[in-house]
């Protein structure tokens, strides 16, 4: 036979938030939870530096970056691994922990890459139903069997925007069997100002059976450079370093991430901007009976149940005007809702103007 064979996966490929509209040159992209205020000026200056050394391989261990991360987040640099986005860390965790037929438990509405990478290595994914779009500890525990190896949660969760408070996260870890790895994805943690919230990193710095995910794609605005990191026991980090691609984080990404960490003002501006506009947008949409989650990360999940128009209707009308939101029907399979990323001031104002034109009161 001269046909080539490869593995077939029963997986729906990840569809990122759309960024293009046919026939429109300029669009407002509010579909991928990217930074509303761009990147730190310090990082920008670095990227445009003409003397960057690009002909040499980068530091495969991201040593300087890990040192800066450990200073910024007051954690141990030996327990950090950097990746080409936190995405790559999720992939490596699945490779390291999962054998075919092992089980992974996920909230039903969770970041899609957990299920995709779990399935690629042959694990079985079990979904725990959320209650009122919030992760249910009880439903997660119901799905645990002897074969369960990992439970993934993002806190706050994407795409629902809801979160487990500190007490609830601790309760989840306490009630889970000790041999199960709890992965807490802190992708949006820096935005969180809710007083009952604690990040995974703050709660579990010294826990052997918790692994934390972090990213430079959200508050630091480096989504295109692909930098993220994982934090776990030295034993897990050493094992991950064996399977890690040798130069997984490119040199510019490492340098830009370091500069971003030095720019505390940029981070605080980003948090401030997010709170101001999340409040404005939430209140504005309520005039149209479009309700959303309590403010948490840099996005809102818009619920159209009480609105006289459907999510699909608004999605299409806005798209025709070049404003793109995230449909939650694709992939996530959540009906009659849209995910709205908090944009720049100009983008938010244009979004509100377009909604006023489309949804007449």
Contacts to ligand PLP by CB under 6 A: 33, 85-87, 111, 154, 158, 185, 187, 215, 217, 223, 228
SS3 assignment, position 292: strand
Of 39 and 187, the one with the shorter C-beta distance to ligand PLP is 187
Closer residue to ligand PLP in complex, CB, 69/307:
69
- What's the closest the beta carbon of residue 321 comes to ligand PLP, in angstroms? 24
Least distance from ligand PLP to the Cβ atom of residue 199, Å: 13
Helix runs in the chain, H state only: 41-47, 63-72, 86-97, 112-120, 137-142, 166-175, 200-204, 234-243, 251-262, 264-286, 311-320, 345-358
Compare residues 127 and 284 and give the one whose CB is closer to ligand PLP.
127
Integer Cα distance of 361 and 358 in angstroms: 9
Least Å distance, CB 51 to ligand PLP, is 28
Residue among 283, 287, 290, 282 nearest 315 (CA): 290
> Least distance to ligand PLP from the beta carbon of 33, Å?
5
Name the residue with the smallest CB distance to ligand PLP. 85
- As a whole number of angstroms, the distance between CA 210 and CA 200 comes to 8
* Closest CB to ligand PLP among residues 58, 321: 58
Least CB distance from residue 223 to ligand PLP, whole Å?
Answer: 6
Give whichever of 9 and 14 is closer to ligand PLP, judged by the CB atom: 14
Sheet holding 291-292, edge to edge: 291-292, 299-303, 337-341, 326-327
Of residues 114 and 288, the one with the C-beta less far from ligand PLP: 114
Q: For residue 187, what are the CA distances in angstroms to 165, 218, 359?
A: 16, 7, 33
Q: Which residue, 94 or 307, has its beta carbon nearer to ligand PLP?
A: 94
Task: Tell me the HSE value of 17 on the side-chain side, using a 13 A CA sphere.
Answer: 23
Least distance (Å) from ligand PLP to the CB of residue 40? 17
Q: Please state the closest distance from residue 70 (CB atom) to ligand PLP, in A.
A: 19
Identify whether the C-beta of residue 171 lies closer than 8 Å to the C-beta of residue 141: no
Q: Three-state SS across 94-120? A: HHHHCCCCCEEEEECCCCHHHHHHHHH
């Amino acid at each position: 036979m001269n046909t080539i064979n490869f593995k077939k996966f029963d997986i729906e490929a990840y569809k990122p938030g759309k960024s293009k509209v046919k026939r429109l040159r300029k669009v407002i992209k509010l579909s991928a939870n990217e930074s509303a205020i761009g990147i730190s000026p310090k990082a920008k200056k670095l990227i445009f530096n003409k003397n960057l050394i690009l002909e040499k391989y980068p530091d495969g261990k991201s040593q300087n970056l890990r040192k800066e991360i450990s200073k910024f987040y007051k954690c141990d640099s030996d327990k950090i691994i950097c990746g080409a986005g936190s995405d790559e860390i999720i992939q490596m965790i699945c490779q390291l922990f999962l054998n075919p037929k092992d089980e992974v438990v996920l909230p039903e509405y969770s970041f899609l890459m957990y299920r995709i990478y779990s399935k690629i290595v042959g694990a079985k994914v079990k979904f725990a139903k959320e209650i009122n779009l919030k992760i249910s500890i009880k439903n997660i525990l119901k799905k645990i069997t002897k074969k369960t190896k990992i439970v993934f949660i993002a806190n706050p969760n994407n795409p629902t925007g809801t979160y487990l408070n500190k007490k609830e996260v601790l309760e989840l870890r306490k009630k889970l069997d000790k041999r199960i790895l709890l992965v807490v994805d802190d992708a949006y943690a820096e935005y969180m100002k809710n007083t009952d919230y604690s990040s995974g990193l703050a709660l579990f710095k010294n826990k052997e059976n918790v692994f934390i995910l972090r990213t430079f794609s959200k508050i630091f605005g480096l989504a295109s450079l692909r930098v993220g990191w994982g934090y776990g026991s030295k034993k897990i980090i050493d094992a991950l370093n064996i399977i890690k691609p040798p130069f997984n984080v490119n040199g510019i990404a490492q340098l830009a991430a370091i500069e971003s960490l030095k720019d505390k003002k940029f981070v605080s501006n980003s948090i401030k901007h997010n709170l101001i506009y999340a409040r404005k947008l939430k209140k504005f949409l309520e005039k149209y009976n479009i309700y959303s989650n309590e403010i948490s990360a840099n996005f809102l999940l818009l619920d159209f149940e009480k609105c006289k128009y459907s999510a699909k209707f608004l999605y299409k009308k806005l798209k025709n005007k070049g404003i793109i939101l995230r449909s939650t029907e694709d992939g996530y399979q959540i009906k009659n809702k849209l995910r709205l990323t908090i944009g720049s001031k100009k983008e938010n104002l244009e979004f509100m103007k377009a909604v006023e034109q489309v949804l007449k009161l």
